[in-house]
Chain A
Amino acid sequence: MARELIIEPVTRIEGHGKVTIFLDDDNSVKDARFAVTQFRGFEKFVEGRPFTEMPSIVERICGICPVSHSLAAAKACDAILGVKIPRAAVKIRRLLNCGEFIQSHALSFFHLSSPDLLLGFDSDPTTRNIAGLAAKNPQLAKDGIRLRQIGGHIVEWLGKKRVHPAWVVPGGVNEPLSIEHRDMMLAEIPEGIEIVQKTLSFFKRIIEEFRKEIRTFGNFPSMFLGLVDKDGNWEVTDGYLRFIDSKGAIVVDMIEPTRYKEFIGESVEEFSYLKSPYFKPQGYPTGIYRVGPAARLNVCNGFSTPLANLEWAEFKDLERGPVLSSFHNHYARLIEILAALELEDQLLRDPDILDTHIRAFANVNEYEGVGCVEAPRGTLFHHYKVDNKGLMQWANMIVATGNNNLAINQSVLQVARHYMNGPEITESMINRVEAVIRAYDPCLSCSTHALGQMPLQIKVVNNRGNILSEKMRD
């Protein structure tokens, strides 16, 4: 019996971006910070709860990528149970993640970013949204909606409820895939592939117009982190950690995510609720690295599916080393949608996917577990400790936007330097700051703000801490 949820005393996490720009005495931009005024109480909140609730509790962290959180949580729980989950469960979870990628990337590209790309960064903010897009290019808007739906169907048909699938469980998944749903999913793939390919060629045509943005949108050397499969290919659900440096050389490779703490340090700063992770061997804050679509394409040796692999080769040709501009996350997102559709097709054609042995049962066998997946926005870690009765004692999560925290600061700084002249906050500058933050698609609930505008507060501060100007956009 499906019932609606009635009572929810825990406030949904809300957040808005807060940008502070620091000026020197000569009015030049000295530093910039992006802070998230977001509640980070989850790690505390789960203490004392049975660990088996985690995959569903964490879905509440973020309304946008609940699947990624529940997958990471379930993997951490598998480790606590000490089980190897059934083959069908592994594949169904992978399938689910494909759905999440298609859905989330389509939202980011078509709904949130393409109004900027198509209508121009300086066009009127009141029409620079999906409605304005639909007026200018109805087909593109329609394609975006359709693609989101195709991804959404995977999550919906597997997880029953699209937004919060209480469906991934410790030890596997709680229902097998039916033949009907498999066939319904298979039937939608060709259309999806056609849409992405069309959009890719469209994007490649307009990309020339954004040379300035490409140059100034988070275009700086940094390390990159992403998961790869055992052959070093692109992988988002099960895989190993790989770090590359700004020249593209592999620094750390084939590391089990359980060992993340050896390579990632976490610094907590007063000004933001978001932690700032860094590459440990290089220390804070030099060890800045980026995660997400472009990072994944940078770290991998290629794709194991043919169409995405061709696109990847072309993407890599943009630059000699890794693609450094965060602007290209948009591009990378489209390629990843293509890869997810191809992978979906492969998984659905595998007879294992219909197997009904989908869950392993066990008691607590390990007191600690780490789960890691690639969320659409980047690498996501969940790390839990339980007591011998299975009650949560401690939790640590590194979310994708956290991984990118230092890089976002750096990118805002770069944009501010380019588009600011003195302490004044111009529309054009706010538009760019907003757009560069959006290139990372940070998972604040505001990043899905229906109209495509994220509530943003910008402050300019001088050396003595006086506020020179301030603007709010919501």
Chain B
Amino acid sequence: MKKVSQIQTLVIDGKEVGGRHDETILQVARENDIFIPTLCHLDGLTEYGGCRMCIVEIKGMPRLTPSCTTLIREGMVVTTNSERIMEYRRGILALLFTERNHICSACVSNGHCELQGLALKLGLTHVEFPYIFPKMPVDATHDRFIADHNRCVLCSRCVRVCHEVEGAHTKDIMGRGITARIITDLMQDWGESKTCTGCGKCVHVCPTGALTEKGKSVAEMEKRRQFLPYLKLMRERS
């Protein structure tokens, strides 16, 4: 039995808009050409709500709320773009840069990177927090792929695509907070993994230079993500 979807109306940035009751603020905003920056969100994957790039203000709620995981409600008044929001977004972004080693000029993803793109878009011109410069390994054991933890932002897109779409669940996150790290199987070398099918989906959903194809030189790693919404659509049909 199909559930009846209800239409609800709300205001985003002064614009009266409407959406289905099971849509998120982010979805409705995008349908109405209202830009909200995102990092962990990717069309075709379940929402994770981890990066907090997509925070918005909802009238009557003192705290900023991630728009990718918040469903719309009738009569909501949402602001996506105040000075306060921008300041928080920039702060979050700056912290991402300080947590690992992002040396864009020597990175294979330079020029095609979502993190870099966000910094540009949000006008992050300098980072005020001290850099941590952690010593992070590079896993080059796989025949075709490289995992460079120096560039990972822990968005978990790779984990979700591997589990939800490929069905292998090779990737996962180990540890918490600042010690969290993407792992392969039970923390084995990628090249040793028995579950990895080598499909490369994780590489292509990764927003940064953390998962890449081997042999790419600087700025050469362009990701192709079009496959995901298409795959999903085809699966839902069958």
Contacts and interface: CB of A to CB of B under 8 A. Distances in A.
Interface string A33-62: 000000000000000111011011100100
Interface stretch (A24-32, A166-174, A268-276, A414-422): A166-174
Interface in B162-215: 191, 214-215
A4 interface: yes
Interface in A145-196: 164, 166, 169-170, 174
B141 to A, nearest CB: 6
Contact of A169 (B105, B112, B217): B217
Contacts of B220: 166, 169, 174
Interface stretch (A5-13, A135-143, A425-433): A5-13
Nearest to A160: B219
Interface string B140-172: 110100101000000000000000000000000
Interface stretch (B26-34, B62-70, B119-127): B119-127
A472 interface: no
B136 to A, nearest CB: 9
B120 A390 contact: no
B133 interface: yes
Interface string B207-235: 00000001111111000000000000000
Most buried by B among A2, A166, A170: A166
Given A1-B112, A7-B104, A53-B106, A48 B137 contact: yes
A389 interface: yes
Nearest to A168: B217
A438 B150 CA distance: 40
Contact of A53 (B101, B108, B124, B125): B108
Contact of A57 (B106, B111, B140): B106
B146 to A, nearest CB: 6
Given A6-B120, A9-B133, A53 B218 contact: yes
Contacts of B138: 48-50, 391
A4 B104 CA distance: 10
B120 A9 contact: no
Given A53-B218, A174-B220, A363-B215, A8 B103 contact: yes
Contacts of B133: 9
Contacts of A361: 215
A50 B105 contact: no
B106 A9 contact: no
B111 A2 contact: yes
Contacts of B131: 9
A56 B219 contact: yes
Counting chain B residues whose Cβ lies within 8 A of the other chain, the interface size class is: 35 or more
Contact of B215 (A5, A52, A56, A164): A52
Given A8-B105, A166-B110, A3 B120 contact: yes
A391 B218 CA distance: 15
A9 B150 CA distance: 13
B105 A56 contact: yes
Instruction: Label chain A's interface by main secondary structure.
Output: loop
A22 to B, nearest CB: 40
- Chain A interface: which size bin? 20 to 34
A55 B111 contact: no
B101 A60 contact: no
Contacts of B105: 5, 8, 56, 60, 164
Interface string A385-400: 0000111000000000
Nearest to A48: B138
Interface string B86-116: 0000000000010001111111101110001
Nearest to A9: B131
B117 interface: yes
Given A7-B102, A7-B119, A50 B140 contact: yes
A53 B140 CA distance: 13
B52 to A, nearest CB: 19
Nearest to A164: B105
Given A2-B111, A53-B218, A55-B218, A8 B140 contact: no
B146 A50 contact: yes
B214 A166 contact: no
B114 to A, nearest CB: 11
A55 B146 CA distance: 18
Nearest to B131: A9
Interface in B19-39: none
Contacts of B103: 8-10
Contacts of B125: 6
Most buried by A among B97, B125, B133, B215: B215
A49 B217 CA distance: 12
Interface of B: 97, 101-108, 110-112, 116-117, 119-120, 124-125, 127, 131, 133, 137-138, 140-141, 143, 146, 148, 191, 214-220
21 contacts: A1-B111, A3-B116, A5-B110, A6-B120, A6-B125, A7-B104, A7-B116, A7-B124, A9-B102, A9-B131, A9-B133, A50-B140, A50-B148, A50-B214, A56-B106, A56-B218, A57-B218, A169-B220, A389-B140, A389-B141, A389-B191
Q: Which 7 A-B pairs have the closest CB atoms?
A: A56-B218, A389-B140, A169-B217, A57-B106, A6-B119, A166-B219, A166-B218
